[in-house]
Amino acid sequence: MHIRLEFTSGSSSKFWEIVLSGTSHSVTYGRIGASGQSKTKDFHSVDDARSSAEKLIAQKKKKGYEEVSAGSQGTKKAVTKKAVTKKAVTKKAVTKKAVTKKAVTKKAVTKKRR
């Protein structure tokens, strides 16, 4: 069994998929377009593995995930780490620089007035 579920709402765009093979199942999850993280869990019997997989699928569907074909991926483009880092660094640098410059200017003006 191979089931892929996706959730898209607002800025959230993520996937969750499960592959059941024998007495274990592997769950892979992450942002749509990325390879995601995987976790494998082993069970004592095939029935235990199937029961666990069905329970996890039900939980995800209750949270709003929708089933898509196992081989497809979402159409949203993944946000690259570089883009996120660059934007965050630039915003932080500009904010910090502006605040520091304003503080220094205010200090200088205050000292001149004394």
Domain residue spans in the chain? 2-68, 80-114
Label residue 88 exposed, middle or buried (CB < 10 Å: 0-12, 13-18, 19+).
Answer: exposed
Give the 3-state secondary structure of 52-110: HHHHHHHHHHHCCCEEECCCCCCCCCCCCHHHHHHHHHHHHHHHHHHHHHHHHHHHHHH
Which H/E stretch holds residue 32? Answer: none
Average pLDDT over residues 95-110: 52
CB atoms within 10 A of CB 98: 10
| Residue-wise pLDDT tens digits, 24-34 | 999 999 999 99
pLDDT of residue 78 exceeding 60, the answer is: no
pLDDT of residue 76 exceeding 70, the answer is: no
pLDDT of residue 9 exceeding 60, the answer is: yes
pLDDT of residue 63 exceeding 60, the answer is: yes
Tokens, residue 48:
């235990």
pLDDT at 69 (0 to 100): 74
What CATH class has 2-68? mainly beta
pLDDT of residue 59 exceeding 70, the answer is: yes
